Amino acid sequence: MICPHCNQNLLRKERGDRTCSTCKQRFALEPKESTYGLHDLRLLKLVEKLSAGRGLYSTVTQLRYTAARRRLPNLKEAYWTIVGSWVAIVVVPTYLLSILVGAALGSSRWWMIPLCGLLVLVIGLAVIRASWPLLRRRAHVRMQVSDEAFRDDVLDPWTSVYGGLPPRVVYESWVMIPEVAHPRMVLLCADPSVRACLAANRVPEGFDMVLVESLDRVPPGLPVLVLHDASIPGFEFAKLARSMLGDRVRAVGLRPRSVMDDESAIRLREPVSARSATQFLHDPLFPNEIEWLDDGWWSPIAAIPPARLLAAVSAAAGQIEDESDPDRRSARQLGFLSWPTA
């Protein structure tokens, strides 16, 4: 690990008690003990990535999702974990037992030793193969670290050493949602992290935008941007908003195709009930997107980095401004945005 103070490369024995043996200064995170293997410099790199070189603010939730990228469990790993467990727990002991049995029976029965091990292995793999569809339907892919654990394991030690959160990172509860005197549009999003990120980066002031968390808080008569997860509940929320608020609703929901093939995206899985994604859709999705949703996959909009989030919201708000201004009006189609990749 590199010391964040003197840049000395430290072995584990040279950084006991989270103190550099060279400069004698304390650091916050021990990678062998910290959530997601974080150390001070890596956390600062993640924060800088979230700021996109523009000094953007990010929330603690966005930082937690960023730290978890490429570290989530996946179903292929689960399958091979089961196979490996079967070999280690059943096949190897059976094979060793067959050696003892073969030795007791005499050298003329040596062929029984590999045969027993092979037979147990084949039977086990056949059982795993046959039961995998059922196991897969019930499999979960979840965040391995909760908000509370991330705070306790990462943020609290950081605060104790450096006196505050990493630069330009904020707790959602600390951000004041601004009051807009003369609003021209509304953004509806149930996720507090998304609203806090937009407010911290002064998006409401730039577009005279009201941020609300529920349908009953939407002011009358204004265009409404609806932000939601790439999930069946997210699409259900957008459909409910349309049914209650009518044509003034513009969906800015995260499309499955934006995340389903992106290895760096946060893709989680919760087995779903018998309901189908198709019953919640207003805008058409591709068949593979519907299949992805129906298989229980989803991606939280709170995992979108600030730069991409602000770009999508700004583009949608700009479209509303174009429509309200005769000189800027264009015939651009509204609905799901193609989320920027920057």
191, two tokens: 């996720």
How much is the pLDDT for 6? Answer: 94
Rounded CA separation 147/175 (Å): 17
Judge whether residue 324 has pLDDT over 90: no
Domain carrying residue 219 = 176-324
39-68 mean pLDDT: 96
Residue 49 lies in a domain: no
What would the pLDDT profile of 111-155 be if each residue is shown by its tens digit? 666 676 677 667 777 776 676 566 556 667 888 888 899 999 999
How much is the pLDDT for 143? Answer: 86
Q: Are residues 181 and 319 in the same domain?
A: yes
Q: How many domains does the chain have?
A: 2
Q: Are residues 129 and 255 in the same domain?
A: no
Contact 267, 259 (CB under 8 A): yes
Residue 246 lies in a domain: yes
Q: Are residues 280 and 200 in the same domain?
A: yes
How much is the pLDDT for 286? Answer: 82
Q: Are residues 104 and 198 in the same domain?
A: no
How much is the pLDDT for 285? Answer: 78
Q: Are residues 195 and 311 in the same domain?
A: yes
Residue 35 lies in a domain: no
What would the pLDDT profile of 23-46 be if each residue is shown by its tens digit? 999 999 999 888 788 999 999 999
Phi and psi angles of residue 112, each rounded to the nearest 5 degrees, phi first: -70, -20
C-alpha pair distances (Å), 215 with each of 132, 176, 183 = 41, 20, 17
Residue 100 lies in a domain: yes
What is the pTM (predicted TM-score) of this model? 0.79
How much is the pLDDT for 333? Answer: 42
Q: Are residues 186 and 81 in the same domain?
A: no
How much is the pLDDT for 25? Answer: 94
- The CATH code of the domain that includes 195 is 3.40.50
Q: Count the alpha carbons within 13 Å of 221 in the hemisphere toward its beta carbon.
A: 3
Q: Are residues 128 and 182 in the same domain?
A: no
Q: Are residues 118 and 205 in the same domain?
A: no
Contact 195, 213 (CB under 8 A): yes
Residue 103 or 306, more confident = 306
What would the pLDDT profile of 219-236 be if each residue is shown by its tens digit? 999 999 999 999 988 988
Residue 323 or 97, more confident = 323
How much is the pLDDT for 270? Answer: 83
Residue 194 lies in a domain: yes
What would the pLDDT profile of 246-284 be if each residue is shown by its tens digit? 999 998 888 899 898 888 889 998 876 655 556 655 556
Q: Are residues 224 and 274 in the same domain?
A: yes
Residue 51 lies in a domain: no
Mean model confidence pLDDT for the chain:
83
Rounded CA separation 15/78 (Å): 35
Torsion 185-188-194-199 (CA) sign: positive
Q: Are residues 309 and 212 in the same domain?
A: yes
Q: Are residues 80 and 184 in the same domain?
A: no
Residue 14 lies in a domain: no
